[in-house]
Each structure stands twice: as C-alpha cells, then as structure tokens.
Amino acid sequence: MPDVTRRNVLRAGAAGAGAALLPVAWSAVARAGSVAPPQVLAAGDLALWYDEPAGTDWLRALPIGNGRLGAMVFGNVDTERLQLNEDTIWAGGPYDSANTRGAANLAEIRRRVFADQWTQAQDLINQTMMGNPGGQLAYQPVGNLRLAFGSASGASQYNRTLDLTTATVTTTYVLNGVRYQRESFASAPDQVIVIRLTADRAGSITFNATFDSPQRTTVSSPDAATIGVDGISGAMEGVNGSVRFLALAHAVATGGTVSSSGGTLRVSGATSVTVLISIGSSYVNFRTVNGDYQGIARTRLNAARTVAFDQLRSRHLADYQALFNRVTIDLGRTAAADQPTDVRIAQHASTNDPQFSALLFQYGRYLLISSSRPGTQPANLQGIWNDSMTPPWDSKYTINANLPMNYWPADTTNLAECFLPVFDMVRDLTVTGARVAQAQYGAGGWVTHHNTDGWRGASVVDGALWGMWQTGGAWLSTLIWEHYLFTGDVGFLQANYPALKGAAQFFLDTLVAHPTLGYLVTNPSNSPELPHHSNASVCAGPTMDNQILRDLFDAVARAGEVLGVDATFRSQVRTARDRLAPTRVGSRGNVQEWLADWVETERNHRHVSHLYGLHPSNQITKRGTPALYEAARRTLELRGDDGTGWSLAWKINYWARLEDATRAHKLLRDLVRTDRLAPNMFDLHPPFQIDGNFGATSGIAEMLLHSHTGELHLLPALPSGWPTGQVAGLRGRGGYTVGVRWTSGQADEISVRADRDGTLRLRARLFTGSFTLVDATDDSTPSTTRPDTDVVQLAVRAGHTYRAARPGVTPSPTLSSTPTPTVSPTLSPTPTLTPTPTPTVTSTPSPSGARATYTVTSSWSGGFQGEVTVTAGAAPTRGWTVSWTFPSGQVISQIWSGTHTQSGANVRVTNVDYNGSLPAGGSTTFGFIASTAGANNPPTDITCTTT
Ligand code: FUC
C-alpha cells in the first residue's frame, strides 16, 4: 500500500473552501402530486425519504451507526451496498508527535513575533517546531458488503427511508409481482449491524454477498453461513499501518438455503433473511494496537446469533429511543414536506418548509447518537462515515472549530452521554500533550494544537500558518466545565479535574508578558488560519486565545472551589487571568481580532474566531457587555454571511446569541442549499464535513433557549417563519429540562423541571403580560421576584416542574417533561454537591504480585464508566482475572479490551488473547460501562488473580 499523502488534502485545506474537492452540483425536481409515504407520516415526518436508490453516489446513501460501527446504505435494487466503518481504523499506528529538537528556538521565535517579523518567525517554527511527522494520520474505511440480487429491471413502487425515530433505513420495492423490503440498523446493545430482508412471497430472496475493501485484505468463508474480510490499515506519513480488523457477515434464512465458500455467501430461495455484520479492531488505545480483533468480531457475532431478529430490533429501539425521544420539536408543517428529501433541499430557498428545520435539528441529534457513545471514539470530521483512504483533512479531529462544534448540541439537546468520548480523548491528550509541552516548550501541564488523530498527535502540524495555535487543549478542557454546568455531576468534575488543571498549568508556564502592552500573551500562536498580513498568521495573544484562556482559568478555579482543592493554584490562575488582554472594539466598530487593530487579509474568511466570546462562550452578551455585543454584530456584518458549511452553522449560533431571529433564520436557510447540504442531508463544507450538521442543530437550540448568562431565556431568537410550535426536553445550564409552546410567535406555556434546589431566573416575553406560574409537582404557587420586566425569579426544588402560562391556556401533556426513556433514565445529576463515588481502588496483589487499579472515569444517573489497569508483578504472568461485585444491581453494557461474564452482581473480566501474557511490570487497561436502574454506586473493591 503506498504511503498515503496528505498534500492533496492540505492543498484543499489551504484553499479553505476545498475548491479542488467540490462535488458535482446536484439538483432535484419537484414530483407532481407527491405525498409523504405512510411510514414517513407515521414517524411524524422525522424521516429522510427518496423515491430513487443512491446508485453510486455516497452522498445519497443513508448513514446508520452505533457509535463504533457505521454503514452507508445505498438501497440499490440490483446490488445493495453497505459501505462499512469502524471508528478505530486509523492509518499508521502509535507514534510520539513531539519534536525532540527541544525548546531552544522558542526564545528567538518569540523575539521575531514581538519584533513584527512574523514570516521569519513562521520560517523558524516550520524548521524547528513541527511535529514528528509533520502531518497527522487519516481515519480509514473497512470496506463494503455487497448483496447482489440480479437485475433491477421492472422494479416499481420504490422508496427508501431513514426513520430518525427508529434509527432504521428501510428500502422497499416491487419486482416481478413480489414486494421486497430491507431494513438496516446498527445496534449499540448487540454491537452488530443488522440487515433484515423480507418478501411477501415465500422463497423469493436470492442473492450473493461479498466483501471488498480498498485496504490490504484477505476474504474468507470461515463457516458455511459466514464470510469475512481480514485487513490492516494503510501506511501514512512514514508510519506503517498497524490497525488490524476483521469484518464478518453471517446470514440466517427462513426457507431456502445458505452456503459460503471462497468469500462468497450464497442465499437462495429464502422467504426472510437476517444478515449480521460484526467488526473487530486491534486498536486498544492510542498507544496499543494488539487487540484480539478476530476474537472481538467473532464474540460479537456469536452473541448476536443467539438473539432472534425481533429481540435485536427491540433492544436497538429501546437503546436508541432512550436518547432520541428526550427532545421533541414541532415547528409546523407545510405541503413542502410531502416532497422527497432531496427535492425539499433543492427547493428550500423558494418554499416555506418549517418542518425541514425540525428535521435538520433531529438529524443532528440522530448523527450524534449514531457516531458518539460512551466508550467509542469521538465523532470526527465525518462522524464515523468515510469511504476513502485519503479523506478530506484526513477525517480527523480539527480542534480550532470543528471538534468543539460537533459537541455543541450534546448537552443542550439532552444527549449528555454522547459527549463522554471527548473527555476520554482529552485524557489521552493529557499524556501525549504533556510530552509535547515538555519537549517543545519546556513546560509542565499539556498542550494540543489545531488537530489531533486516533494516535492523539498533539504537536504543531501542517505548517505554522495553520498549525501554530496553542489553545486546542485549552478549548477542549473548557468543555469539562461546560458539561459539568449542565449535569452538576461532581464525580465527573473530579475525574476530569486533572486535565483542566494540566491545561492551565501549561499556560501558567508559557504565557509571556507583552513587551509594550504588559499583558500576558500566548506567543507564538494565531487567530485560526487567518493571515493578518500577507502569508503571516502567527502572532502573540490573538483575541480568541485570550478569550479561551479566560474561560480555562475561570473553569479550573471554579472547579477547584467545587472540589475543595488547590487553593494556591486557584489564586495563581486568577492572577494570570487578570493579566490577559481584554476583548477590544476596533477602529471599524468591530471586535478586534488581534492585539493590534489589523484588518484581516481575507475580508470574508470562514473563521470568525474572535467571536468565540459570543458563542460558545458568554464573555460577550447583550445585557452584560452592550458595547462588545454591538461590535460583535458589526464584525459579522463585515465578514458577511457567506462561508463554508461549518462557518454558516457557527453564524447561526452567533446570530441566535445576538437575539437576531431573522438573521439566524436566514443563515439557517442559507445552509439548506444544494451547495451546502448533500441529498442525504450531510453538511457540505464542501466536501462533506459533519460539523455543519451538529452546528445547525446547536444553532436551532440556541434560537429557542439560552442559558449562558445564569438565566433561562425562552425563545430568544424565534423567527417569524416558525409562528406556531413546540419544543420539549431541551437542557439548560444549572440542570434544567425545558419545554415551551407558542402561537403567533408568543409563548403560551413554559415548563421547567429542576434537577437541583436553587434559584431560577426565567426570561420570556410572556412575563411582560399577565401569566400564571405554578409548581406543577405539588400545585403550590411559588413566590417570585421581578428583577427585570421580562424576568421572574423563584426558588426551585429538585425534581419539581414549574409551569408558566398565559391565563386560560390548557396545560399540554407533552410539554411538562421529556418523554420517559425506556432504558436509561433522562440524565438527572446528583442533586447535591456530594460526589458520585469515584474510588481509585487498588486490589490486593495476587500471589504473583499482579495487581489492578480501578477508577471511575465518568458517571451519570443511568450508569458509569470505569477503567481498570492490570499490572504484572516482578514476574511475568500468563493470564489474569479481575473480579468484583456490583453493589446496586449494575450490569455491564459494554466492555473493551477484555471479556467478561456477569452472574447476578458478580463480575469476572479476563484478558483477551492478545495480552494473555504480561511481562514483568507490564500493564494493560480495560474499560467498561455499567448501567443501572437503581443507585449508582460503583464497586469499592476488586480482586486480581493470575494464571
Ligand atoms: C480547518 C478549517 C477548514 C476545514 C478543516 C477541517 O482547517 O479552516 O475549513 O474545516 O479545518
């Protein structure tokens, strides 16, 4: 396999709009008399649907995923294609990105920056500070499973749907008088992709199934009903491909015959068939790739084979709907929703289609649930869906906009668990980033620059103009505090506090005093990817860095207070915070992007990084900082509305925070164009980049609810295009679950459920007229104060729901609480500041001296995630078992890098084959997720034995 080069991608990145990668423009023509199919109406229009197959166009195929496994389903009549991904298949293998030339040139680089010799500073950075290698590695595909049925000629009544309420792709058609149906879903509880084929005439299903792949692979027929493809990821940047994987497809038929030989699975004359796809990967974590990938693939498949299809389906539904059903939204429906989805996109600019905004909102939630679950990798630039060995920007994690954007809707749209992979990644980056901090800055703590990958590269990559940005790790760390604000989970804060502290430590060690202004500044850094002078982006103390560092220092100080730790460190960061440069208004009335009042070299540049303070942060607000708020508006006017998909999506959030409903809605409509949305509703940079989907979902949430200033502001940017509607289940900082119903642009009814006792401030236009306010849980009338004409303030109690309404409005049954999840309960964090127990338990060493340590890495009210590290003693061991008892009925729902058995409360985890032997002092780690319906106490003791 040739070394995959990064240059093409980089060229596109440098061009910004990715001109070289522009897809062929697409169009769709309205169908006369079209009506949405019954199954779409049954899903409340929360379905994508088409009356044509995807053909060869990946951007017409429909995505399914369970966080780890992903597939794009093409729905062709003649040959069904499932393009397959597994989220740990990365090119290359573990590497240490730190540049070992050391920090010797840093002083000279800083001198050049302060002397305004920016390009000379960049030259020296390119010579001495680039990572090793100088680019990061790509996320890569597994391959395809193709089911060849024969000719499609004569097929009629075709349609295919992606039902967001069931996370299922269904294709149906009539051929030779027989109605065929295929249903595909990716199950998280059973860790397989399932395709169910049925026909309404017995014995009509015949096909051959085969795997193919762009990777180095071998195909096989491991048994009479199974095929496999065994492969290894590609080399890149001089790093050998090392992630091994095995995909298996197994068929169970009713009627007819099934056989497999030479890598072809043959099904003949069946009435119904269930195909199970299981994939194992040898990626254990960013530094270990010797996992038992074959064992994982086989174990998952064998377990799923024992479960009937109906069971697989109902387990999938229960798991998925527990997350998806937490938020409902209705923005109204017009006849535009009766057209196929691609037609709706093509016509959006000229039609009134409010339901499309609801669909887009829920699609973002669907994509997050499908690409990011506890224990999986975070959603990358393409979520988990990628068919290319050399995807745009390597389909990795770009931190200066894209990765944070992916997770903006996680908490606001009630998907807190889906956020957890980011914090696992941050924990990895504290390790690799500490190496880079030490080697390249001579600093403590940890640092990450503008990108990372599956190997957690943390150094400067791609060249100084793009990569010399120091605050990637800082931004990611602020997410820890943000997440805590929503959940109030002190155990989570405690487990992640070391990452917050390490990120702050790096800046305490590296910030330098500006020679003339005196502020503490980052040097060298940049305002992401935007040259302030010709070919020069590198500078000291760009506005975005100062804003991020204010948030970081605040977060670590406040977290230290909550946890009652590190008083001295807290005062150090607060002192440093007070020496950061404030955000200023520039000569054009704009927010100044750099310390000097420079005019950007590209007036319409896609990054508007210096408004980080407006969103996602809360440093620029309408009522708190009116001058900066006006300057933010002016900044957006100067930059213009145009931009890449993600840039438009960020601007929706910006305008929503400016409380400008009309402009936010205009930007939302700009995003729904054929050059910004693919037929399958994937956002187009172009090319496809999933951040725009997540950013749009976040933007719609921001139009309906704000909670960034210590109050809940209902309908802060409700556009005239959504005159009547309802949303329920949105989450606000402070632990609130919020619903609101409105007509003629006015709230009729507001519902707020509090997780914890506290003081609630509610802002809404409703409060400027007459209204009623009750504690709907005990029917009492809370006493209120009125700090502002449109604000009421009241004391709230944990678990109580408060309802405000126009007089005479009948309470809506669907508004007052989120739909009750069937599996894991709605996140309701610890009501008090008592941490969920997060023990670090060391087991009694076994006679061989081997021991295990155990930590809870995150917890939520439906369960927790833990990590156990087994370390051999003075002698090597051949195998090990760790056992414990769950105190309150927890059940392991997912485990990685180990196999387990659970009998009642008793759990035993044994090594998987690859690390059956541990050398003296060697260690290995496994992780698990345990869910519970009862109390969430983790076990307090574990035992390690060896063989
Ligand atoms: C940054 C952005 C590009 C693109 C890439 C993945 O480099 O400037 O527009 O989103 O990340």
Grade residue 939 by pLDDT with cuts at 50, 70 and 90.
confident
What's the mean per-residue pLDDT of the chain? 92
Please work out whether the CB of residue 215 comes within 6 Å of at least one atom of ligand 1. no
pLDDT at 351 over 80: yes
Please work out whether the CB of residue 676 comes within 6 Å of at least one atom of ligand 1. no
* Ligand 1, atom 10, residue with closest C-alpha: 402
Tokens describing residue 914: 């690859």
Grade residue 3 by pLDDT with cuts at 50, 70 and 90.
very low
Q: Which residues pair with 232 in a beta bridge?
A: 216, 244
pLDDT at 312 over 50: yes
pLDDT at 8 over 90: no
Ligand 1 center from residue 455 Cα (angstroms): 20
The 10s digit of each residue's pLDDT in 827-844 is 333 323 333 445 566 666
Please work out whether the CB of residue 647 comes within 6 Å of at least one atom of ligand 1. no
Q: Which long-range contacts (CB under 8 A, 24 or more apart) does 560-563 make?
A: 560/497, 560/501, 562/484, 562/490, 562/493, 562/833, 563/490, 563/493, 563/494, 563/497
* Ligand 1, atom 4, residue with closest C-alpha: 13
SS3 letters across 383-417: ECCCCCCCCHHHHCEECCCHHHHHCHHHHHCCCHH
Cα 352 from chain centroid? 30
Q: What percent of the chain has pLDDT over 70?
A: 92
- Per-residue model confidence (pLDDT) at position 927: 74
Ligand 1 atom with least separation from CA of 689: 10
Ligand 1 center from residue 644 Cα (angstroms): 9
Ligand 1 center from residue 73 Cα (angstroms): 27
Ligand 1 atom with least separation from CA of 528: 8
For the segment 367-373, the average pLDDT, to the nearest whole number, is 98
- Per-residue model confidence (pLDDT) at position 615: 98
Ligand 1 center from residue 758 Cα (angstroms): 41
SS3 letters across 26-49: CCCCCCCCCCCCHHHHHCCCCEEE
Ligand 1 atom with least separation from CA of 466: 7
Q: Is the peptide bond before 515 cis (omega within 30 degrees of 0)?
A: no
Residues 894 and 929: beta-carbon distance below 8 Å: yes
Grade residue 849 by pLDDT with cuts at 50, 70 and 90.
confident
Residue whose C-alpha is closest to residue 783's, from 791, 798, 794: 794
pLDDT at 219 over 80: yes
CA dihedral sign, ordered 80, 86, 87, 89:
negative
Ligand 1 center from residue 451 Cα (angstroms): 10
| Residue among 403, 529, 639, 647 to mutate when testing ligand 1 (max atoms within 8 A of CB) | 529
Please work out whether the CB of residue 606 comes within 6 Å of at least one atom of ligand 1. yes
Please work out whether the CB of residue 13 comes within 6 Å of at least one atom of ligand 1. yes
Tokens describing residue 54: 């995807």
CA–CA separation, 293 vs 311, rounded Å?
26
| Residue among 398, 403, 648 to mutate when testing ligand 1 (max atoms within 8 A of CB) | 398
Please work out whether the CB of residue 644 comes within 6 Å of at least one atom of ligand 1. yes
Please work out whether the CB of residue 133 comes within 6 Å of at least one atom of ligand 1. no
Strands 712-714, 758-763: pairing kind? parallel
| Residue among 646, 651, 683, 688 to mutate when testing ligand 1 (max atoms within 8 A of CB) | 646
The 10s digit of each residue's pLDDT in 245-271 is 999 999 999 999 999 999 999 999 999
* Ligand 1, atom 11, residue with closest C-alpha: 398
Largest CA distance in the chain: 84
DSSP string, 447-458: -B-SEE-TT---
* H or E element, residue 426: helix 420-441
Residues 407 and 319: beta-carbon distance below 8 Å: no
Ligand 1 center from residue 135 Cα (angstroms): 14
Please work out whether the CB of residue 451 comes within 6 Å of at least one atom of ligand 1. no
For the segment 913-934, the average pLDDT, to the nearest whole number, is 70
Residue whose C-alpha is closest to residue 708's, from 618, 788, 621, 625: 618
Ligand 1 atom with least separation from CA of 529: 8
The 10s digit of each residue's pLDDT in 408-452 is 999 999 999 999 999 999 999 999 999 999 999 999 999 999 999
pLDDT at 489 over 70: yes
Please work out whether the CB of residue 381 comes within 6 Å of at least one atom of ligand 1. yes
CA–CA separation, 595 vs 162, rounded Å?
49
Ligand 1 atom with least separation from CA of 18: 9
The 10s digit of each residue's pLDDT in 126-150 is 999 999 999 999 999 999 999 999 9
The pTM of the full predicted model, rounded to 2 decimals, is: 0.89
Tokens describing residue 774: 């009750």
- Per-residue model confidence (pLDDT) at position 463: 97
Grade residue 353 by pLDDT with cuts at 50, 70 and 90.
very high
Ligand 1 atom with least separation from CA of 451: 11
Ligand 1 center from residue 680 Cα (angstroms): 22
Tokens describing residue 274: 């269930």
Ligand 1 atom with least separation from CA of 392: 6
Please work out whether the CB of residue 393 comes within 6 Å of at least one atom of ligand 1. yes
Contacts of 177 (CB under 8 A, 6+ apart): 201
Grade residue 890 by pLDDT with cuts at 50, 70 and 90.
confident
Grade residue 916 by pLDDT with cuts at 50, 70 and 90.
low
Please work out whether the CB of residue 621 comes within 6 Å of at least one atom of ligand 1. no
Please work out whether the CB of residue 396 comes within 6 Å of at least one atom of ligand 1. no
The region that residue 427 occupies, defined by phi over 0 for left and psi between -120 and 50 for alpha, beta otherwise, is alpha
Ligand 1 atom with least separation from CA of 16: 9
Residue whose C-alpha is closest to residue 232's, from 191, 288, 289: 289
Please work out whether the CB of residue 402 comes within 6 Å of at least one atom of ligand 1. yes
Ligand 1 center from residue 689 Cα (angstroms): 9
Q: Cα-atom radius of gyration of the chain, to the nearest Å? A: 27
Ligand 1 center from residue 89 Cα (angstroms): 22
Grade residue 848 by pLDDT with cuts at 50, 70 and 90.
confident
Please work out whether the CB of residue 854 comes within 6 Å of at least one atom of ligand 1. no
Please work out whether the CB of residue 450 comes within 6 Å of at least one atom of ligand 1. no
* Ligand 1, atom 9, residue with closest C-alpha: 16
Residues 256 and 268: beta-carbon distance below 8 Å: yes
Ligand 1 center from residue 127 Cα (angstroms): 23
Ligand 1 center from residue 601 Cα (angstroms): 17
- Per-residue model confidence (pLDDT) at position 897: 63
Please work out whether the CB of residue 398 comes within 6 Å of at least one atom of ligand 1. yes
> Of 11-15, 631-635, 733-737, which range is least confident?
11-15
- Per-residue model confidence (pLDDT) at position 858: 66
| Residue among 689, 691, 694 to mutate when testing ligand 1 (max atoms within 8 A of CB) | 689
Q: Which residues pair with 739 in a beta bridge?
A: 728, 751
The 10s digit of each residue's pLDDT in 503-519 is 999 999 999 999 999 99
- Which among 380-384, 890-894, 911-915 has the top mean pLDDT? 380-384
Ligand 1 center from residue 404 Cα (angstroms): 13
Ligand 1 atom with least separation from CA of 607: 8
For the segment 185-201, the average pLDDT, to the nearest whole number, is 98
Please work out whether the CB of residue 407 comes within 6 Å of at least one atom of ligand 1. no
- Per-residue model confidence (pLDDT) at position 5: 36
- Per-residue model confidence (pLDDT) at position 814: 86
Ligand 1 center from residue 734 Cα (angstroms): 33
- Per-residue model confidence (pLDDT) at position 845: 67
Please work out whether the CB of residue 529 comes within 6 Å of at least one atom of ligand 1. yes
- Per-residue model confidence (pLDDT) at position 140: 98
Ligand 1 center from residue 13 Cα (angstroms): 6
Please work out whether the CB of residue 88 comes within 6 Å of at least one atom of ligand 1. no
Tokens describing residue 346: 């093509």
Please work out whether the CB of residue 382 comes within 6 Å of at least one atom of ligand 1. no
- Per-residue model confidence (pLDDT) at position 829: 31
| Residue among 397, 402, 694 to mutate when testing ligand 1 (max atoms within 8 A of CB) | 402
Please work out whether the CB of residue 609 comes within 6 Å of at least one atom of ligand 1. no
CA–CA separation, 312 vs 336, rounded Å?
35
Ligand 1 center from residue 448 Cα (angstroms): 16
pLDDT at 822 over 90: no
Q: What percent of the chain has pLDDT over 90?
A: 82
Please work out whether the CB of residue 321 comes within 6 Å of at least one atom of ligand 1. no
- Per-residue model confidence (pLDDT) at position 862: 65
Grade residue 910 by pLDDT with cuts at 50, 70 and 90.
confident
